[in-house]
Amino acid sequence: MAVGAKWTDVGQAFAVDQLDKNTAVAAASFSYFGAWGSGSTTPAVGDTALVSENPEARTAIPAGSMSQPTADVVRWAYTIVATGTRTVQETGIFSASTTGNMYIRIVHGSLALESGDSVAYTVNLRLKDDSEA
Write out the residues near another protein by the rule CB under 8 A: 2-7, 12, 65, 69, 75, 77, 79, 91, 104, 106-109, 111, 113-130
Phi-psi region of 64 (alpha: psi -120 to 50; beta: other; left: phi over 0): alpha
Helix (H/G/I), strand (E/B), else coil: 112:
strand
Quote the least distance from Cβ 122 to another protein, whole Å.
4
Nearer to another protein, 34 or 100 (CB): 34
Q: Which is nearer to another protein, 2 or 28 (CB)?
A: 2
Q: Which residues make Cβ contacts (< 8 Å) with residue 86, sequence separation at least 6?
A: 38, 54, 56, 111, 113, 117
Q: Looking at beta carbons only, is 31 or 111 nearer to another protein?
A: 111
The nearest distance, CB 18 to another protein, in angstroms, is: 14
CA distance 133 to 114: 38
Q: What minimum distance in Å lies between the beta carbon of 81 and another protein?
A: 9
